[in-house]
Structure formats: structure tokens, C-alpha cells
Amino acid sequence: MQDPMNDNQEQDSQVLDNQALDSQELDNQAPIKKRTIRSFVVRGGRMTEGQQKNYDANWAFYGLELADGRIDYQTIFGRESDVVIEVGFGMGTSLAEMAKNAPEKDFIGIEVHPPGVAKLMMLAQEEGLKNLRVYCDDAIEVMASCLPEQAASAFQLFFPDPWHKKKHNKRRIVQPLFAQQVANVLREGGHFHMATDWQPYAEHMLEVMELQENYTNAAGKGLYHPRPEWRPLTKFEQRGERLGHGVWDLIYTK
């Protein structure tokens, strides 16, 4: 992800794979065992001394381990709640803000960029947030091996790498298979919320999602959704608005 799309894009962070880039049906119970195409590139993954200290100090409370396998949301958070999953949160500012503004909900962030994970945990600790946890792992593996099936209330994917060149479009994370993987972790009535500032990618997202039989476009067939209040307006978007750049939100209900 690229700087600074939401802060999800401050670094080219989250690495997700698209194993089947055609319309092959997904067996929801089958884990993904082989990666073939990377949908983004991890850059600058080394932490500064200060970031490492924050990471080490806060991981025991906020960190979740891929190796621990399938989790239970009520056990993790100590309550029944609406659980929101966000993939690729970058440096974590907007995710921390959402968790602060919605204390009745619980949030799980998934990010492979260690400095971003360290920053999110530091922000959460400073705000005293108890309704946030984080994986520092590949989201495809976390979704397949750790997240409960049919349980999350929302899944967020904000400003993923658009892979501008046509020859790289197949690397875009939003593909039919990924949409089915998201559906597998969403409960019925849950929302899959995407946002991008790259119009060709917005059109690609719309094309992919409109063909999914187990989703309904919350804005109406073929339409984009106005930015909802719960998605923070980032400095990047504010600057983009001044320059005449657009941002497209899409929300689909399972």
C-alpha cells in the first residue's frame, strides 16, 4: 500500500494472495495452502528502536498469534459484541480512531508491516483502548486459520494497493475468491466495506462485487456509497479533495 492512502497506505503494507483469479467457487471450509500471486509488496519492514520498544511493550495485551489457531471473539474480548475486521491498516491512526469512537464494538486489525502494528498498539495504549487486537501476519492465512466463520459484523478494506498497470491488475486483492473468503468470516447481514481513491480500481471492485450472488449492494445495484460517518476522513482525503481527487466507497451486505 502506498503513502498515505487513509493511513492504510502509509507503507506498502499488507501482503495478500489471490490463488484463484478466475471465478472458481471457493470451498469455504478449505484452508488456502499455496500462494501464487502477491497482491502487494512489503517495504521498509524493519522497526526503529522506539518502534521495537512499543511493539514489545504492548504485544502481550494487543497481539494475536497466527500459530494459536482459531480464536473465539467472546473469549478474546470478554464480551459479546459486534466485531469489525480490518485488513491493511497501515500506521493504524484511523483504526484506532474508529475503536475509540465505537467502544461498544470490538476491532481486529491485520497487517504485515511491523512498524504499523507497533504504531497502532502505541496509539491504543495511549488511549486506553480495550476493544482492539492485532495480527502481524498475512491476512489470507489469518482468515483461513484463525477467524471464526460466519461471525464478524463488518470487514473493512480501505485504500488497498490499486496496482495501476494493466499487467498487474491480477494482483489486486479484490477478486471473486477474496470476496468469498470475506463472506466466510462475515455473519449474515454483515458488511464488506471497501474504499479507494483510484477510479479504475473502484470500477473493478464494483464489477467483481456485483457478480457475487451472496452480497447485496447497500447503495443500490451498480452504485457507490457515500462515505459513512464511521470511516474517518483522513488527511490524505482532505488533501485529495482540495486537489479535486475522488474517493469511492462500496458497501456490500452479506
Q: Which residues pair with 62 in a beta bridge?
A: none
**161 is annotated as an active-site residue:** yes
Q: What is the pTM of this model?
A: 0.83
**What is the pLDDT at residue 243?**
78
53-65 tens-digit pLDDT: 999 999 999 999 9
- Report the CATH number that the domain containing residue 80 is assigned in CATH: 3.40.50.150
Alpha helices in the chain (DSSP H): 49-62, 73-77, 93-101, 114-127, 139-145, 176-185, 199-210, 235-242
**157 in a structural domain:** yes
147-205 tens-digit pLDDT: 999 999 999 999 998 867 777 678 899 999 999 999 999 999 999 999 999 999 999 99
Query: Could you tell me the pLDDT band of residue 32, with boundaries at 50, 70 and 90?
Result: very low
For 191, phi and psi rounded to 5 degrees?
-115, 140
**205 in a structural domain:** yes
**What is the pLDDT at residue 146?**
98
**35 in a structural domain:** no
**116 in a structural domain:** yes
Domains in the chain, number: 1
**Whether the bond into 232 is cis, omega within 30 of 0:** no
Please tell me which residue in 137, 161, 197, 249 is annotated as part of the active site.
Answer: 161
**133 in a structural domain:** yes
Q: Note down the domain range covering 195.
A: 49-253
